[in-house]
Structure 1
Amino acid sequence: MSFVRTFEGDLPPGELGFTYAHEHIVCRPPYWVERGADDLLLDDPEKSLLDVKDFFSLGGNTIVDATAVDYGRDVLAVRDIGRKTGVQIIGTAGFNKSFLWDAKIPEHLKPHIGDFASFYEWIDQTSVHDLANFVIREVEEGLEGTSIRAGQVKFGTGYNRMTPQEEKTMKAVAIAHHETKAPVHSHTEAGTMGLEQAEWLRREGVDLNNWSVGHMDRNPDPFYHIQMARTGAMLSFDGIAKIKYAPESTRINCILNLVDHGFEDQILISGDTARKTYYKHYDYGLGLEYIISKWKTRFTAEATERGYDAEALVYKFFVQNPARCMTFSK
């Protein structure tokens, strides 16, 4: 039986509804805490709740929270936000990119990770087998000792490089995927190393139809996107509203180019809203409401003007594709 796994339990994929495929709701990344980078700390659950409530009030149903253990999750706070707003939350087991591991492990995590000085020391000194077992426990038992189980497994790589420790976590996540059947998600720094990740996953026997790859719009290269889509992966355009990287016209052109080549079933949309200045109720940013209230309208108008069935594409990107992406493999 196919299912997706949310904070409140397993559901049929058809019950996800309108979904953001990559967000962060409450997180205090130790790397950024130690460096005093306040903008990168989503540390007020009440303010996060207001943004999630905006999303729900506009017809949003589900948010995939892509916050891994090394990015400072607050599992109970996020569950509480989901319950108060009615938004379904999907959690994430696994790891992020390696530069974030240069940080002390918070005391509350040590009973679940071990008494290591830093995330880097933990990953460097722990076997692939034991790292995989940690990820498996987070999917099958619960995140950080809770009963809230993860609905996807994650790994990450850096900008135009893949360190030995990142390769190690990728292998651990592949093992966990095979054991749990959880879908796989990956971080790419500025959209790089996606094809190299695909090669690694193939070697580990992962069916790439069970893989979603993040930040494709950070590398707005249509040829590269076609190559990535041909692997079978889901491509996540999760930088919507971040004009500092590219205008929305660039993202929309890349998305519609994929549609032109027959890959509309492999596109995901989200905002990776991970700064106070991106959130409406923290610091007057565009907020979680922006995509559903404004970007969707702009995309629909532009796609319709260019002859596409825009409503059908929106339904694919936000409903059908996330439901298939987040389904546990058989």
Structure 2
Amino acid sequence: MSFIRTFHGDMDPSKLGFTYSHEHIVCRPPYWIEQKKDDLLLDDKEKSKLDVLDFQKLGGQAIVDATAVDYGRDIQAVKEIAEETGITIIGTAGFNKSFLWDASIPEHVKKVTGDYATYYQWIDAKSVNELADFVIREIEEGLEGTGIRGGQVKFGTGYNRITPLEEKTLRAVSIAHHETKAPMHSHTEAGTMGLEQIELLQKENVNLEYMSFGHMDRNPDPYYHEQIAQTGAYLSFDGISKIKYAPESTRIQCILELVKKGYEDQILVSGDTARKSYYKHYDYGLGLEYIIGKWVPRFIDEAYKNGFDGEKLIDKFFIENPARCFTFKK
């Protein structure tokens, strides 16, 4: 039995449609609240909804909300957006990266994590199996006890390092994956430590065909990308539009290099649109419409100039590959 688990319930993977594979819709990360970084707070449901509607008007059908518990999810607001727009949304269980764990745990989250002051204290105090049980409940019962079940499990590591607590959450998420068969996703800070994550996942007997590695375009290294692709994992190029990190030509070149090597079935594309200044209806940014409206036509043009069928590749990156990647196989 295969299905994709969404805010609307479980669905046939063939019904998923055109999908952004890594976004953030409504969230108030406790760490960024404490740092007074308002740009990183997506805290207005109606403004987020307008960007989702822009995506939908151009043919978008589904969004993976990659917001884990430690990044300030607003599950009710995202549920309402899913209901009011008809967009399919996939939620995320698990964890992010260690520096975020210095933040205080919000009162509503303490009901499901326990009475700890910070995420660091909670993750440090709990055993691997106890953390795994938390993730399993979020997949099988509901995110933060809401009854809205997560559609993937996530862990993360920092820039050029993996801390002991990050390894602990990786192991917990691996256990949860084995128990639930949920697809797995990882945060790689600036695209680093993917190969080191793979070494740890192999020790946990994870089939890497269930994995997607995030932020691969932050480390635009074709050799590195090929090493990850050889494991059967998905590579998420989810920094589209972020020219401060690299021009679009670099991202497209990296993607086409993987296509040339035969890995087109393992590529995901999204924007990780996690700032007010990235959203059109918060702060005049390019918004959720940019990839489908502007980047896709450019990619198709460049693909054809390089001898590839651009439309066919877009169908793979946004329809066929997400439908496989985010499927529970029980």
Query: How many Å apart are 1:306 and its aligned residue?
Result: 1.7
Is residue 145 from structure 1 mapped to residue 148 from structure 2 by the alignment?
no
* Structure 1 contact 241–248 (Cα < 8 Å) conserved: yes
Instruction: Report the 3-state secondary structure (helix = DSSP H, G, I; strand = E; otherwise coil) of the residue aligned with 2:241.
Output: coil
Instruction: Report the 3-state secondary structure (helix = DSSP H, G, I; strand = E; otherwise coil) of the residue aligned with 1:159.
Output: coil
Counterpart of 1:39 in structure 2 is: 39
Mapped to 2, the partners of 1:137 and 1:38 lie a distance apart of: 31
User: How far does the alpha carbon of each residue in 1:139-175 deviate from its partner, in whole angstroms, 9 at most, with x for none?
Assistant: 0000011110000000000000000000000000000
Query: How many Å apart are 1:239 and its aligned residue?
Result: 0.1
* Structure 1 contact 28–43 (Cα < 8 Å) conserved: yes
Query: How many Å apart are 1:40 and its aligned residue?
Result: 0.2
Counterpart of 1:68 in structure 2 is: 68
User: How far does the alpha carbon of each residue in 1:183-240 deviate from its partner, in whole angstroms, 9 at most, with x for none?
Assistant: 0000000000000111111110110000000000000001111111001110000000
User: How far does the alpha carbon of each residue in 1:1-25 deviate from its partner, in whole angstroms, 9 at most, with x for none?
Assistant: 1100001110111110000000000
Q: Which amino acid aligns with 1:44?
A: D
Counterpart of 2:132 in structure 1 is: 132
Counterpart of 1:95 in structure 2 is: 95
Mapped to 2, the partners of 1:69 and 1:135 lie a distance apart of: 10
* Structure 1 contact 21–236 (Cα < 8 Å) conserved: yes
Counterpart of 2:58 in structure 1 is: 58
Instruction: Report the 3-state secondary structure (helix = DSSP H, G, I; strand = E; otherwise coil) of the residue aligned with 1:117.
Output: coil
Instruction: Report the 3-state secondary structure (helix = DSSP H, G, I; strand = E; otherwise coil) of the residue aligned with 1:93.
Output: strand
Query: How many Å apart are 1:329 and its aligned residue?
Result: 2.7
Q: What do you get for the CA RMSD once the two structures are aligned?
A: 0.5
1:164-175 equivalences in 2 (<5 Å): 164-175=164-175
Instruction: Report the 3-state secondary structure (helix = DSSP H, G, I; strand = E; otherwise coil) of the residue aligned with 2:2.
Output: coil
Is residue 308 from structure 1 mapped to residue 308 from structure 2 by the alignment?
yes
Gaps of 5+ in 1: none
Q: Which amino acid aligns with 2:232?
A: G
* Structure 1 contact 215–236 (Cα < 8 Å) conserved: yes
* Structure 1 contact 98–165 (Cα < 8 Å) conserved: yes
Mapped to 1, the partners of 2:229 and 2:205 lie a distance apart of: 18
Instruction: Report the 3-state secondary structure (helix = DSSP H, G, I; strand = E; otherwise coil) of the residue aligned with 2:160.
Output: coil
Mapped to 1, the partners of 2:198 and 2:9 lie a distance apart of: 30
Query: How many Å apart are 1:132 and its aligned residue?
Result: 0.3
Counterpart of 1:319 in structure 2 is: 319
Mapped to 2, the partners of 1:294 and 1:87 lie a distance apart of: 20
Instruction: Report the 3-state secondary structure (helix = DSSP H, G, I; strand = E; otherwise coil) of the residue aligned with 2:155.
Output: strand
Q: Which amino acid aligns with 1:199?
A: E
1:1-330 equivalences in 2 (<5 Å): 1-330=1-330
Mapped to 2, the partners of 1:305 and 1:185 lie a distance apart of: 32
Q: TM-score, normalised by structure 1?
A: 0.99
Q: Which amino acid aligns with 1:172?
A: A
User: How far does the alpha carbon of each residue in 1:71-104 deviate from its partner, in whole angstroms, 9 at most, with x for none?
Assistant: 0000010010011111000000000000000111
Mapped to 2, the partners of 1:304 and 1:59 lie a distance apart of: 22
Mapped to 1, the partners of 2:231 and 2:99 lie a distance apart of: 27
Q: List, as ranges, runs of 4+ consecutive aligned residues in structure 1 with deviation greater than 3 Å.
A: none
Instruction: Report the 3-state secondary structure (helix = DSSP H, G, I; strand = E; otherwise coil) of the residue aligned with 1:3.
Output: strand
Q: Which amino acid aligns with 2:317?
A: F
Query: How many Å apart are 1:307 and its aligned residue?
Result: 1.3
Q: Which amino acid aligns with 1:153?
A: V
Mapped to 1, the partners of 2:110 and 2:244 lie a distance apart of: 38
Query: How many Å apart are 1:117 and its aligned residue?
Result: 1.1
* Structure 1 contact 210–329 (Cα < 8 Å) conserved: no
Q: Identity over aligned residues, as a percent?
A: 73
Instruction: Report the 3-state secondary structure (helix = DSSP H, G, I; strand = E; otherwise coil) of the residue aligned with 1:177.
Output: helix
* Structure 1 contact 97–157 (Cα < 8 Å) conserved: yes
* Structure 1 contact 235–268 (Cα < 8 Å) conserved: yes
User: How far does the alpha carbon of each residue in 1:229-253 deviate from its partner, in whole angstroms, 9 at most, with x for none?
Assistant: 0011100000000000000000000
User: How far does the alpha carbon of each residue in 1:257-278 deviate from its partner, in whole angstroms, 9 at most, with x for none?
Assistant: 0000000000000000000000
Mapped to 2, the partners of 1:321 and 1:174 lie a distance apart of: 22
Mapped to 1, the partners of 2:240 and 2:83 lie a distance apart of: 26
Instruction: Report the 3-state secondary structure (helix = DSSP H, G, I; strand = E; otherwise coil) of the residue aligned with 1:307.
Output: coil
Mapped to 2, the partners of 1:329 and 1:124 lie a distance apart of: 32
Mapped to 1, the partners of 2:86 and 2:57 lie a distance apart of: 10
* Structure 1 contact 97–156 (Cα < 8 Å) conserved: yes
Mapped to 1, the partners of 2:141 and 2:260 lie a distance apart of: 42
